[in-house]
Amino acid sequence: MEGLILPSFAWEAIDISPDMLRIWRYGTRNVSDIQPMRIQPASFAFTLLLGLLASVPYSGIDMSLPALAATGVALGARPANVGFTMSVFMLSLATAPLVYGPVSDRYGRRPVVVFGVALFVVGSLACALAQSLPVLLVCRFSQGCGAASTTVTFAIIRDLFEGDNARAKMANVVIAVNAVTVIAPTAGGALLALGSWRLIYTIQFIMGLALLIALVTGFAESAKIGKTGQTDSLAPSIIGRGYLHVLTHPISSAYILVGAAAGGTVMAYVTGSALFFINGMGLRPNQYGLIFSGCSGSVMAGAFLDRRLAARHFSPTHVLMTSLTVSATASGLFLATTLVGWASLPLIVSLLVAVAVAFGLSISNIISAAMHPLPQIAGAVSAVSGSIQMMAGAITSGLVTCLYDGRSALSMAAVMTSCSLLALASYLLIARPAERRGFAS
């Protein structure tokens, strides 16, 4: 019936009710679970809502970066200790999705994102009012736990869209996220100049509140939730089996590994670039900011290109193969030129831009491929994927920092090359063979 199209009078003639049509269209056992979207999923407004939702964690990171030193001065804390505000935020982003994933599969995406954004709003306000570093750390952890709920954004897309449409929507979300990473550090610096570090958290509170209102008034449930047999689906044993299913599924687990390695490549750049360009090459912070923004814009360009390719029905397999190969090649050239001492600034920036474009091209396809075999637990897949990618990013960031020699890009280039090669090898040797063998959920 999927390809069957009949005029409205034909449906009336065979006496199929609107409720029955919704059951056929959405594949749900409970018609009451399907509510019309107040903001139409195909509209630009809905894409913007998803983009803003997915951007919440990154606004919580990037806007706060310029204020670390000022926060330490105001609270009488050492700068190194204030850095823990980022650590606890990242920790919450890595762990909280493991709770949100199965909850969203059981009760739906809407209550999860509404609760999470509300928690982000409360946490942001508490951060703005904090009077000591320990209190700020607790508030930042709560803020991060709220922001982590937005990892179900890609599960929402998987609920509502298929194939190239899902790929295009995910590409749009990637564009929005990287737009935030371009703007947020500059916005944080401007807010710091206008007021104090508390103003940054106040603006996060206002932005979160506006997003919460949009969710409450415009977003309806997207998940296909049934009631039968789900009364104990949040029992620890059930959750554990769900995550084990994700981690042992040949296709999903392979693409989660590919995504973690690709994300590790980017996080190695994010950490190492500031160390190298400012400390090693002596660039001013504003000069480094231009390079950082240029690379974030390159990720956006890659995602935009992927969206255009999806509209033209280019094979995601070919796009993914090409992008992972470009990333590995550019990273390898970066390492080689660093080792032989040919690393000029224009060459380094060009290679980093190539890696960024490749990441923008690949990430939507990776996420879509990981979720496709297990649509019934898309929230769990999204949670595992986001958590593992965040952990991989933390590991690669730590490696780059620990191995940094104080002058060269060697640690950054080595970790980027290792991760990009791991991503390509995982795709070629694990993911593609699993797909060819025809594994199902």
pTM over cut 0.85:
no
d(CA 274, CA 287): 11
Give φ, ψ of 291 to 5 degrees. Answer: -65, -45
Q: Does one domain contain both 182 and 53?
A: yes
Q: What angle (nearest 5°) sits at the alpha carbon of residue 298, between those of residues 297 and 302?
A: 120
Contact (CB, 8 A) for 379 and 109 = yes
> Same domain for 194 and 342?
no
* Contact between residue 358 and residue 327 where contact means Cβ atoms under 8 Å apart: yes
Q: Please give the full DSSP string across 243-287, using - where no structure is assigned.
A: HHHHHH-HHHHHHHHHHHHHHHHHHHHHHHHHIIIIIIS---HHH
Q: Are both 70 and 108 inside the same structural domain?
A: yes
One-letter amino acid for residue 436 of the chain? R
Do residues 409 and 272 make contact, with C-beta atoms less than 8 angstroms apart? yes
**Residue 289 falls inside a structural domain:** yes
User: What is the Cα–Cα distance from 344 to 342, expressed in whole angstroms?
Assistant: 6
> Which amino acid type is present at position 437?
R
Asked if 383 and 106 count as a contact pair (C-beta separation under 8 A), the reply is: no
Question: Quick one: 51 and 139 in the same domain?
Answer: yes
DSSP H helix total and E strand total for the chain: 20, 0
CA pair distance 91, 393, nearest whole angstrom:
11
355/384 same-domain check:
yes
- 232, 263, 289 - which closes a domain: 232
> Domain range for residue 359?
235-441
CA 157 to chain CA mean position, Å: 13
Residue 285 in any domain: the answer is yes
Same domain, 241 and 227: no
| Alpha carbon 241 to chain centroid, angstroms | 24
- pLDDT of the chain, 441 residues: tens digit per residue: 333 333 333 333 333 333 333 333 333 334 344 456 677 888 888 888 999 999 998 888 878 877 777 888 899 887 667 778 877 888 888 888 888 888 888 888 899 999 999 999 999 999 999 999 999 999 999 999 999 998 888 889 888 888 778 878 888 888 888 788 778 877 888 888 888 899 999 999 999 999 999 999 988 888 776 543 444 556 677 777 878 888 899 999 999 999 999 999 988 887 788 778 877 888 876 787 788 788 888 998 998 898 889 888 888 899 999 999 999 999 999 999 999 988 789 999 999 999 999 999 998 899 889 988 888 887 788 888 888 888 888 788 778 878 888 788 999 999 999 999 999 999 999 999 998 886 544
Shared domain check, 395 and 289: yes
Q: Are residues 69 and 161 in the same domain?
A: yes
Instruction: Compute CA distances 399 → 128, 303, 414, 417, whole Å.
Output: 32, 28, 10, 13
Q: Is residue 286 part of a domain?
A: yes
Q: Which of 173, 199, 232 is the last residue of a domain?
A: 232
Q: Which residues contact 428 (CB under 8 A, 6 or more apart)?
A: none
Domain end residue (candidates: 199, 232, 265): 232
Same domain, 194 and 142: yes
241 and 180, same structural domain? no
- CATH code of residue 60: 1.20.1250.20
Q: Say if residue 227 is in the same domain as residue 239.
A: no
* 297, 350: one domain: yes
